[in-house]
Amino acid sequence: MNIVEIAKLAGVSKSTVSRYLNDGYVSEDASTKIKEVIEKTGFVPKRQAQIMRTQKTNLIGVIVPKISTETAARVVEGVTKELSKYGYEVLIGNCELSIEKEMDYLKVFRSYQVDGIIFMATEITPKHYELMDQLNVPIVVLAQRVENYPCIIHDDYHASRDAVRFLLEKGHESIGFIGVGEYDVAVGVERKRGYKDELMAQGIAIDENLIQIGDFSQQSGYRLAKELMELKRRPTAIFAVTDHLAIGCMEYLKEAGYKIPEDISVMGLGDTQIAGLVTPKLTTIHYYFQTLGVRGAKLLVDYIQQGKSSTKNCESNFIFTYRLIERDSV
Amino acid sequence: MNIVEIAKLAGVSKSTVSRYLNDGYVSEDASTKIKEVIEKTGFVPKRQAQIMRTQKTNLIGVIVPKISTETAARVVEGVTKELSKYGYEVLIGNCELSIEKEMDYLKVFRSYQVDGIIFMATEITPKHYELMDQLNVPIVVLAQRVENYPCIIHDDYHASRDAVRFLLEKGHESIGFIGVGEYDVAVGVERKRGYKDELMAQGIAIDENLIQIGDFSQQSGYRLAKELMELKRRPTAIFAVTDHLAIGCMEYLKEAGYKIPEDISVMGLGDTQIAGLVTPKLTTIHYYFQTLGVRGAKLLVDYIQQGKSSTKNCESNFIFTYRLIERDSV
DNA sequence: TTGTAGGCGTTATCAG
DNA sequence: CTGATAACGCCTACAA
């Protein structure tokens, strides 16, 4: 069923049907006739053909590291919600933590001629840059700072400093750190930098033994907490760079018979759902992931509406604020 | 940049380029020449034009009630993972719990001529059926039983019975029930039916006071637990139809000074991430959401490969099993 | 092995 | 206000 058949049935030309569907610059007679036929047949114009003609897909590609991750899901929630306001559809690229897949989706999205791309990144390699540069479509990067492209991120450095300062103010001087590898700049580099800088700013020497690095898993938090507590000079508080790590950390501590926060304090970062559900409730820093998604989507839409064919060198980097949530683990 | 320009630069006809891109039935001379040009220009054939010609979009529409929900995210993880194996791209329809939006996406997906639809449903209305019937595309429904269409669901009825039986076997005879409205058949109807049937099967009379119905929120669990505990004839165990409700329930119980499971037992259903993280760890029933997504995707792909233009009356309903996870709350 | 020509379903331009 | 006609970029007979 296509526009020509509708035209035939309604006894008009296909241009008239097309006009009816778009500007509506059609006589009443023709209108009612066409309307009738369309309703009877359940005709819907094909987007592919429209796209072919107009070169506007109304498609946005969204790349996420892993959709079943709470943070990614929240970001996507925000992105889709905002985008649907503007009539965009979302092509989702779930990368299952594979960098190859990120590249693949970048390419696939190009072939689908998406109007724009939201890229929730973890690690950005030179190859990413190369691809992004030849993409010719507005791109907004989320949750990771990136050179030459607009990005929206949380202020990891200051969030981390604030967390440490909070612990310091509570009287802790020996603060263990559970982090992740530096390939992830936001989580691995910035949050560690915040930790160190805050300690130094308060005149406390960095004890490298207190700095433990693992991966993102809960087990990692568990294991590193053990390391920390088996040190001769044990910390009185532990700051983990994600809630997940903090939960793993608490799991070990509870098993080992420590009372939280009496014997040792624990602090996380991110304020995922579980933070308010564990016992004791985790003191952490709230990150506005959904809002991040909303803002990222809005920014992308702005670029598209400005007719930009690339956002390279559009260095409008937004840094999101955060909020310290005091619960029961410190 | 299109196939004609490439042809011109390579000194061949556009059909040769097209062949190079597809079957590859091209002389070596031409091949190397074309390859060179494509690499230099970074040309990528446009999907829209291909689709136009081939009428195959390689697009699958996925409708979810709310993507930031852990269950939905897990299902989508499975769906996207499986679909990407077969080279499909995913258009995501995040409905933010609005039935209108479900309809909208059904329509949008039709206009994009998706090759198939995965529909993670909550409530299915006659209007849904009407739309689905005229869609002319394979549809697989997930997590909700639906007439006339293939669907994959968890065995809510038996899961619920098993949960109750477990409680019974632990010596509880007065079991409170926290449920949700019947508009959601899987969660609202089936799980309640399981509860009642198991009690009756064991010769225990149904006490309607022990059956409390609310919404899906944690607060609902909290509030209904309160109702239950203020009853004259208090239950010694509570079965909540979702983990979330169970968590809310536990929250109230702990606040009110009850010891779990000494004073009262709590059981959930779903085994979301938090279940293993709360204190005490929640005894619940594990649901395989990601696998459900995988299987749903596979089934859809099968239908597509069979060339079905509709899955109406393809009543291949799969019922997924589940697993009772015994933790510390019973 | 290659090129020519036609068409997929729209929208946009331009006369009428 | 309406209709004919030419694209959009690709694939695919068919002929050479």
Angstrom distance (rounded) from CA B143 to CA B123: 10
pLDDT digits (tens, 9 = 90+) for A31-80: 999 999 999 999 999 999 999 999 999 999 999 999 999 999 999 999 99
- Backbone conformation region of residue A244, classed left if phi is above 0, alpha if psi is from -120 to 50, else beta: alpha
Please name which of A326, A288, A298, A231 lies closest in space to residue A88, comparing C-alpha atoms.
A298
Q: From the Cβ of A69, is strand D under 7 Å away? A: no
> d(Cα B313, Cα B330) in Å, to the nearest integer?
43
Q: Residue A278 CA to nucleotide C6 C1', Å?
A: 67
Phi, psi at B13, each rounded to 5°: -90, 165
Q: Quick check: A92 and B92 CB within 8 A?
A: yes
CA A305/CA A299 separation, integer angstroms: 10
Q: Which residues contact A249 (CB under 8 A, 6 or more apart)?
A: A178, A221, A222, A224, A225, A238, A240, A266
* pLDDT tens-place string over residues A122-180: 888 999 999 999 899 999 999 988 889 999 999 999 999 999 999 999 999 999 999 99
What's the gap in Å between the CA of A74 and the closest CA on chain B? 5
Nearest-nucleotide field for A19 (CA, C1'):
C11
What whole-number distance in Å separates Cα of residue A159 and Cα of residue A141? Answer: 20
CA closest to A40 among chain B residues: B134
- Nucleic strand D contact set for B 31-70 (CB, < 7 Å): 45-46, 49-50, 52-54
Given this model, what pLDDT does residue B1 score? 87
Measured distance CA(B140)–CA(B314) in Å, rounded? 10
The pLDDT confidence band at residue B122, using thresholds 50, 70 and 90, is confident
Q: Give chain A's radius of gyration (CA, Å).
A: 26
Which residues of A are less than 8 Å from B2 in CB distance? none
Distance A328 CA to D9 C1' (A): 62
In this predicted structure, what is the pLDDT of residue B10? 92
Chain A partners within 8 Å of B279 (Cβ): 254, 278-279
Question: Using omega within 30 degrees of 0 as the cis cutoff, is the peptide bond preceding B261 cis?
Answer: yes
- SS3 label, residue B223: helix
Sign of torsion over alpha carbons B249, B250, B254, B260 = positive
Of residues B145 and A287, more confidence is placed in: A287
Are the Cβ atoms of B81 and A70 closer than 8 angstroms?
no
Residue that the structure tokens 């000194």 belong to: B11
Contacts with A49 from chain B: Cβ below 8 Å: 52
The gap between A118 CA and D10 C1' (Å) is 28
C-alpha distances in Å from residue A234, one per residue of A202, A209, A264, B175: 20, 10, 10, 47
Q: What is the pTM of this model?
A: 0.94
Indicate yes or no: CB of B89 within 8 angstroms of CB of A112: yes
Residues with Cβ < 8 Å from A232, sequence gap 6 or more? none
